[in-house]
Structure formats: structure tokens, C-alpha cells
Chains A and B, each alone.
Chain A
Amino acid sequence: MSDSIKPSVAVYKFSSCDGCQLSLLNLEDDLLDLAGAVDIAYFLEATRAVKPGPYEVAMVEGSVTTPHEAERIRQIRSEARFLIALGTCATAGGIQALRNFGNADELARMVYPHPEYLEYLDKSTAIAEHVKVDLEIWGCPVNKHLVLECTAALLQKRKPNLPQYTLCMECKLRGTTCVTVAQGMPCLGPAVQAGCGAICPANGRGCYGCFGPVAYANTESLTTTLRALDRYAGETALLLRNISGYAPAFRKAAETLFSAEVTSHKDPQ
């Protein structure tokens, strides 16, 4: 296959920890296949060589947190035919979106000696809040097999196999005993999109939702169940306000819980 007909792929980093790009590099053997099938035109983490756009595919890791990034993502979008938001920073604002729940200026003053030198936006936001996104791959980090699957799907012009069901499905498919039922641990699984392979429950922990909510998440019923299991006050609320905390379904559910906690503190019964 000649280079000219291989689709060009550019990989960009926004505000993030690099973990998702590392998942790409961790593809190892598959990375060689991938390099054979696509033309990696821009991927600073992997190579200095840069080919000019436009590109077939842009993969964007990270969230938008500065005015400069907000500008840059528009530029990238204008140069890419197909844009993939890679990882939960890019799909929901990521862990740094926790600051969205406070006041960014106050936080900056607490953390930095000279906050006046910082340029930042009020909120850390998902790529889709700025430009049109063609495909979201959730996860913190993303599951490298899903990235490979999505690339294969793009190359073959088909729908990628991204599960649309809950994490509980994955627990049951691999035969993991439910940590909520058998150990009374709060787990977001019933409201969370599968795809990670149910790693946390398999390791005896509840899911904290890094793959984001399923489209039909019944957070109201789930929080009722989980709050009864809280091992400390607000455990469920904190579980919701985690890596995908700024995803609308979780944001709303946590807000409801926090306001309930505040009211119950003010007005002890």
C-alpha cells in the first residue's frame, strides 16, 4: 500500500496527563500494524516528524482549559475530516473539571504564588462543547483495544463495536461477583458505560465511572440504593463527582446529593 492512500492521522494533546496517548504507544505489536495501515502525520509524543494538514483523522486527548486551547481546537477541527475525542478529559472535562465545581480564581490563588500570570478558562470542558466531535472514546485512560477497534472501523467504514450497555454486563460476562450485592460497596456500574472490561469490580472496588454514563442512566434510583451503603458521609456523591463528574448525568445527580447533604446539615432532623 502506498503512503498516499493511507489515511493521515494526527494526535493532539490538550489539558491532560498523557495517559491516553501512552495507551496508544502501549499498543506495541498492534502499533506496527497501525503504522502500516495509517499515516501518522502528527504525533509529538511518538515522533518529531510532522506532516502538514489537513488530516483524515484527528485524535484529541485532553480537555479545553485555556483561551489558547479553545482557539486551537477550532483550528484542528477545520483541518480534520473526522475528529475523535480520546479519553474522559476530552469527553467530559476529566479530573481537572473538578475545579468547575468551585471558583477557578479562588483555586488559582490557593495553589499558585502568582496567579496573575496564569491564563485559564473558568471551566475545564469537553471537546464537544467547543467543536463538532464525530466519535467519543471514553476512559481514563482509554482502553487501547477500543482505540484499535475504532481505527479498524474507520478504515473499513463500519460502526465501531463500542458497547452501549452498562458495566454490570461486563461484570457478568466475565463472571465477577457484584461488589455492591456481595460486599455492600457503592459501585456506579449500573449507570456506567461498559468498555473497560469491569476492571475495578474484578479487583474488589466499586466503579467510579471513568467510562462515563450510559445514555439511559437511572441515577436517581442508583443514588437511592448506593447512599444506603455509604461507608462515610457523601461517599456516593464523591463517587459521582469523580473523573466523569462533569458529564451532565453525573453532574446533576451529584448536585442533588450535595444539596441534600447541605440541607440535612443545616436542618438536622
Chain B
Amino acid sequence: MTTTAIHSAAHRAAHPERLLEPDWAEITAITPETEDISTFWLRFDGAAVQERYRYQPGQFNMLYLPGYGEAAISISSDPHNPQRLVGHTIRFVGNVTRAISRLKAGDRLGMRGPFGVPWPMHAIEGKDVVIASGGIGLAPLRPAIYHILHNRERYSKVILVYGARTPRDLLYSNEYDSWRKADIDVQITVDRADETWSGRVGVVPMWFYHFRVDPRKTALLTCGPEIMIRFVVFEALARRIPTDQIYVSLERNMKCGQGACGHCQLGPYFICKDGPVFPFSALERYFNVEEF
């Protein structure tokens, strides 16, 4: 056995035998978001890896905690953030994510990535952009919002419709005002209100009943629970938004992130490499087939 220190991406490129090994990254800070969701800010151990690491809105990493395994986690930070920290907003649901929840700043995680097809930020320039998301589904869309903030003039109307179960489950609520200031129409809705809540109550797809979209010039980006995505797409189609202007980000069990382990297949697609973001036109054939 040869002990090798931290591997850099360049090192891996030179040594393809390391393709399935992670780089190590330090947790520089943890931002609690809700009761069971926090954002973990990571910086690679090797300065060179950190310097080279680039990602686009909608991509994800495989985060690894030895002994527990890997989890696919979207990047939720601003690709242009000055410290170049990579943010991951993680919901603690099971084995790996609960173990991550016990980590503290200064601890390390393995990280492979970035993987996947990003949101089509260039293709949708000039359009009205509707971002519809629910729950943790806002995490992969936040980098898209940041991108729009940096390039606001490239997009026409921008509307964010975001829903969570209760007001306490809303992500990033301290940022909504700054988004509104940048002329993003932020519509927040919850399934169940509490005494603090004076906003809208209802599910995300309901939004379509309150607003009018111009189908030809609207692009829809959506991510959230699959059931929400189904209804959002249903409403969007009913309003004649073309299928190639509807983009959805999907989730399936995932082990490698590189279209090799087979797990995330949906028909001909490997969601990890052909997605997770798809134009609905590519999915149409399979999306409504139960348990496909």
C-alpha cells in the first residue's frame, strides 16, 4: 500500500485510477437554514484544486463521509462568490446526510464534482423567467437566481414562486428582500400557515391561477418534490408554454455521478450526466409513466 496525501483534480487527471476517489474539503462555516436543513460552506484542501474548481448553476457534487457513504448534493452558492466557497444546502434525511449534520466547522468532507447539466442560463436570455420551486428544491435554483442578479438586464420579467410546508421551512428567507430589490418578483407560499404568517397559503402550482404568462416568451425552471414538478409542468403545458422552454431538475438514486453505476437511469438518460436539468421535451415520453 502506498499512502497518498490529498489528491488534486490535476493529479487525478494524470492518474485515471483515482477517478472514483474524492478530493478533501474543509467546512469553513455552517449556516443553519431550518430545523432540518443547513448550508455547508466548503473549501478544498489544495489551493490549486480550489483555484481550478468551477461550476455552473444547477450542477451538483458527490459529498463523501468515509464509513457513511456519498450523497448527491446540489451546489447552492453563487458561482461568482468572491471567496469561492462552495455552498451545499443539505436536508438531513438519512444515513449520510444525518452524519453530515453532526459535523462542525473545521471538519472535512470528501467531494467529487461538479457533475451534471446546468440550468440553461444563456439559452433563456431575453425571456420572462419563471422559477417554480418547493422545499429543498430552491437550493439548486439559488445559483441561477444569483446569476440573474449579476446579469439582470439579460432577462425580461423574473418571477420566483417558492413554497414550503410551513413558514419555518422556508429557505433563504433573509435574501428575498434583496432579490426583490433587483426586480425579481418573489412569490412565497406555504402549505400550512402559522400565527406569524400573513402571506399566501397554497401549493406552488396554484400560482398559475393568479398570474398570466405569455407562453411564447416564458421560460420555466422548476425543481422540488416530484409531485410538485408534475403539477407545475401540467399547469405550464395547459398555458401552452412550449415543452422545450420548460426545464426540470430531477432526482434519482445516484452512486457515481458519471453515468457509470446505472442507478439514476430514466429511460435512455442517466440523470447524473444527461441531467439533472432536462428540457421537458426530452422527458415527455417517460415522465408520466408510473414507476419508470
Whether A and B touch (Cβ < 8 Å) is answered with yes
The stretch that binds A, out of B94-102, B129-137, B284-292, is: B94-102
Q: Roughly how many angstroms separate A20 CA and B217 CA in the complex, as a whole number?
A: 68
| Closest Cβ neighbor of A160 among chain B residues | B95
A159 touches B94 (CB 8 A): yes
| A222 → chain B closest CB, angstroms | 22
Q: Secondary structure at chain B's binding surface: helix, strand, loop or mixed?
A: loop
| Closest Cβ neighbor of B95 among chain A residues | A159
B40-76, CB under 8 A of A: which get 1 and which 0? Answer: 0000000000000000000000000001100000000
Q: Interface residues of A, CB < 8 Å — how many?
A: 4
Q: Secondary structure at chain A's binding surface: helix, strand, loop or mixed?
A: loop
B67 touches A156 (CB 8 A): yes
User: For chain B, which range describes its interface: under 10, 10 to 19, 20 to 34, or 35 or more residues?
Assistant: under 10
11 cross-chain CB contacts under 8 A: A156-B67, A156-B68, A157-B98, A157-B99, A157-B102, A158-B67, A158-B68, A158-B95, A158-B99, A159-B94, A159-B95
Q: Roughly how many angstroms separate A157 CA and B96 CA in the complex, as a whole number?
A: 10
Complex interface: chain B residues within 8 A of A157 (CB): 98-99, 102
Q: Roughly how many angstroms separate A39 CA and B102 CA in the complex, as a whole number?
A: 24
Q: Roughly how many angstroms separate A225 CA and B102 CA in the complex, as a whole number?
A: 49
| A162 → chain B closest CB, angstroms | 12
Q: Roughly how many angstroms separate A127 CA and B114 CA in the complex, as a whole number?
A: 47
| Closest Cβ neighbor of A158 among chain B residues | B68
| A147 → chain B closest CB, angstroms | 18
A153-182, CB under 8 A of B: which get 1 and which 0? Answer: 000111100000000000000000000000
Among A132-160, those with CB < 8 Å from B are 156-159
Q: Which 5 A-B pairs have the closest CB atoms?
A: A159-B95, A158-B68, A158-B95, A156-B67, A158-B99
Q: Which B positions have Cβ atoms within 8 angstroms of A?
A: 67-68, 94-95, 98-99, 102
Complex interface: chain A residues within 8 A of B98 (CB): 157
| B97 → chain A closest CB, angstroms | 11
Complex interface: chain A residues within 8 A of B99 (CB): 157-158
Complex interface: chain A residues within 8 A of B94 (CB): 159
| A160 → chain B closest CB, angstroms | 10
Q: Roughly how many angstroms separate A185 CA and B92 CA in the complex, as a whole number?
A: 46
Q: Roughly how many angstroms separate A159 CA and B94 CA in the complex, as a whole number?
A: 8
| A163 → chain B closest CB, angstroms | 15
Q: Roughly how many angstroms separate A157 CA and B68 CA in the complex, as a whole number?
A: 9
Q: Roughly how many angstroms separate A159 CA and B65 CA in the complex, as a whole number?
A: 13
Complex interface: chain A residues within 8 A of B68 (CB): 156, 158
| A55 → chain B closest CB, angstroms | 23
Complex interface: chain B residues within 8 A of A159 (CB): 94-95
5 A-B pairs besides A156-B67, A157-B102, A158-B68 with CB distance below 8 A are A156-B68, A158-B67, A158-B95, A158-B99, A159-B95
Complex interface: chain A residues within 8 A of B102 (CB): 157
Complex interface: chain B residues within 8 A of A156 (CB): 67-68
Q: Roughly how many angstroms separate A156 CA and B95 CA in the complex, as a whole number?
A: 11
Q: Roughly how many angstroms separate A156 CA and B69 CA in the complex, as a whole number?
A: 13
| Closest Cβ neighbor of A161 among chain B residues | B69
Q: Roughly how many angstroms separate A157 CA and B99 CA in the complex, as a whole number?
A: 8
| Closest Cβ neighbor of A152 among chain B residues | B67
| A68 → chain B closest CB, angstroms | 38
| Closest Cβ neighbor of B94 among chain A residues | A159
| Closest Cβ neighbor of B65 among chain A residues | A158
Q: Roughly how many angstroms separate A157 CA and B92 CA in the complex, as a whole number?
A: 14
| B63 → chain A closest CB, angstroms | 15
| B167 → chain A closest CB, angstroms | 31
| B33 → chain A closest CB, angstroms | 22
Complex interface: chain A residues within 8 A of B67 (CB): 156, 158
Q: Roughly how many angstroms separate A158 CA and B94 CA in the complex, as a whole number?
A: 9
Complex interface: chain B residues within 8 A of A158 (CB): 67-68, 95, 99
Q: Roughly how many angstroms separate A265 CA and B142 CA in the complex, as a whole number?
A: 70
| B94 → chain A closest CB, angstroms | 7
Among A4-62, those with CB < 8 Å from B are none
| A152 → chain B closest CB, angstroms | 9
| B118 → chain A closest CB, angstroms | 32
| A77 → chain B closest CB, angstroms | 24
Q: Roughly how many angstroms separate A156 CA and B67 CA in the complex, as a whole number?
A: 9
Q: Roughly how many angstroms separate A157 CA and B67 CA in the complex, as a whole number?
A: 10
Q: Roughly how many angstroms separate A158 CA and B71 CA in the complex, as a whole number?
A: 14
Q: Roughly how many angstroms separate A6 CA and B68 CA in the complex, as a whole number?
A: 21
| B271 → chain A closest CB, angstroms | 22
Q: Roughly how many angstroms separate A58 CA and B222 CA in the complex, as a whole number?
A: 47
| B262 → chain A closest CB, angstroms | 15
| Closest Cβ neighbor of A156 among chain B residues | B67
Q: Roughly how many angstroms separate A1 CA and B252 CA in the complex, as a whole number?
A: 41
Q: Roughly how many angstroms separate A159 CA and B71 CA in the complex, as a whole number?
A: 14
| Closest Cβ neighbor of B102 among chain A residues | A157
Q: Roughly how many angstroms separate A156 CA and B94 CA in the complex, as a whole number?
A: 14
Complex interface: chain A residues within 8 A of B95 (CB): 158-159
| A142 → chain B closest CB, angstroms | 22
| B211 → chain A closest CB, angstroms | 44
Q: Roughly how many angstroms separate A158 CA and B98 CA in the complex, as a whole number?
A: 9
| B261 → chain A closest CB, angstroms | 16
Q: Roughly how many angstroms separate A157 CA and B103 CA in the complex, as a whole number?
A: 13
Q: Roughly how many angstroms separate A145 CA and B98 CA in the complex, as a whole number?
A: 25
